[in-house]
Amino acid sequence: MKIVVRTPNWIGDTLMAFPAIEALRRNFPADEISIAAPDGVRDVFAGPETTERLFFPASARKGTSLFGATADFRAEHFDAGLLLTNSFGSALVFALARIPQRWGYARDGRGGLLTKRVRVRRTDEPVHMVRYYLELMKGLDIPTFPPEIRLSVTPEEADRGREILARAGLDPGRPLVILNPGAAYGPAKRWPKERFSALAGILQERRGVEIAVTGTAADRPAAAAICSGLREPAADLTGKTTLRELLAVIRAASVFVTNDSGPMHLANALRVPVVALFGPTDPAVTAPYHEPRTILKKDVVCWPCLYRRCPYDHRCLAGISAEETTAAVERFL
């Protein structure tokens, strides 16, 4: 068979779906599996651990018409499609593309578009996204395996990461702490930039570490505020790396300090120690899956709200101090 897997639209969700993709890979070893991923996600699959063919359909691009969204899928003549997305639209594209077998969760009113549908299991307990995707595979009668989320970089990529850090003026002989102040979901997930700056200053003074700040171009104002408050220079890499370059840079870190975000899962997949700062979201659902990790979270009365913007005083993240975070980082140094 020719099987296509439509990945989630976010880096973190895609990584948490890795064990489900591995289950498909191991249960259909003789079949051709293609990965259909949006532009911002597909480079996750560009590493040496990926064996599937990468497929970049028009449906993964913003502003594409429904006709254009289905044309690429239809031209491939897939026999089956696995939807790791939850949307009605992604199932509609598979149906209009005439993929004979369409597998996924029956949610958001799309059950009638699927040929093999799985009901979302209702539970009062939070379900980690890794388990959520594995439950889908079990519902499809596809055996699963102990979850393992791992990424690697090639030797050439590792060299590129070291080159980026060297050009930024960082000493490779000193421990590197990377700060990741962004979160695409919204400002409610972002620890205050003043706390990141205070953390960096303390670590520079106590531990003599090098500091780098990563993120997208949208995170440049936060990075500038963080770096401007430091006695020693830090490397502002926001908006200056591709996803593969970011992986190589993270791989060189001693500790990665981050909000709940896609880069948090990238660092965890590389087994770089992560200090994760959680605000309105629940780590029981989206925490970095593997050790080494430390999760900092405050049990406030309004948590978890899942708001993109806090309408109050942002007490969930404001309650995490720079000193508390410093102590968590120091345990990995």
Token code pair at residue 276: 């994760």
Position 58 confidence tier, pLDDT thresholds 50, 70, 90: low
Query: What is the percent of the chain where pLDDT is above 90?
Result: 89
Residue 179: per-residue pLDDT: 98
User: Dihedral of CA 223/193/250/127: which sign?
Assistant: negative
126 prior amide bond cis, ω within 30: no
Residue 38: per-residue pLDDT: 87
**Whether the predicted pLDDT of 4 surpasses 70:** yes
Token code pair at residue 268: 């965890």
How many whole angstroms separate alpha carbon 209 and alpha carbon 27?
46
CA-CA distances (angstroms) from residue 5 to 90, 94, 306?
A: 11, 11, 28
For the beta carbon of residue 193, count every other beta carbon within 10 angstroms.
19
Residue 40: per-residue pLDDT: 87
Token code pair at residue 324: 């508390």
How many whole angstroms separate alpha carbon 98 and alpha carbon 73?
9
**Whether the predicted pLDDT of 172 surpasses 90:** yes
**Whether the predicted pLDDT of 281 surpasses 80:** yes
38 prior amide bond cis, ω within 30: no
How many whole angstroms separate alpha carbon 52 and alpha carbon 285?
27
CA-CA distances (angstroms) from residue 211 to 179, 200, 205, 208, 265?
A: 7, 7, 12, 10, 20
Average pLDDT over residues 285-289: 98
Please give the mean pLDDT across all residues of the chain. Answer: 95
Average pLDDT over residues 271-287: 97
> What single-letter amino acid sits at 52?
E
Among 294, 290, 286, smallest CA distance to 12 is for 286
**Whether the predicted pLDDT of 24 surpasses 70:** yes
Residues with Cβ < 8 Å from 52, sequence gap 6 or more? 5, 21, 25, 33, 34, 35, 45
Position 64 confidence tier, pLDDT thresholds 50, 70, 90: low
- pLDDT tens track for 215-232: 999 999 999 999 998 999
Residue 51: per-residue pLDDT: 86
- pLDDT tens track for 192-208: 999 999 999 999 999 99
How many whole angstroms separate alpha carbon 181 and alpha carbon 257?
8
Domains in the chain and their CATH numbers? Answer: 2-139 (3.40.50.2000), 156-330 (3.40.50.2000)
Q: In this predicted model, which residue has the larger pLDDT, 293 or 311?
A: 293
How many whole angstroms separate alpha carbon 81 and alpha carbon 101?
6
Residue 61: per-residue pLDDT: 59
Token code pair at residue 190: 């972002």
Query: What is the percent of the chain where pLDDT is above 70?
Result: 98
Query: CB–CB of 238/221 below 8 Å?
Result: no
Q: In this predicted model, which residue has the larger pLDDT, 184 or 216?
A: 216
Average pLDDT over residues 18-25: 97
Q: In this predicted model, which residue has the larger pLDDT, 59 or 164?
A: 164
**Whether the predicted pLDDT of 63 surpasses 60:** no
- pLDDT tens track for 113-145: 999 999 998 888 999 999 999 999 999 999 999
**Whether the predicted pLDDT of 60 surpasses 60:** no
How many whole angstroms separate alpha carbon 138 and alpha carbon 150?
22
- Chain-centre distance of CA 220, in angstroms? 20
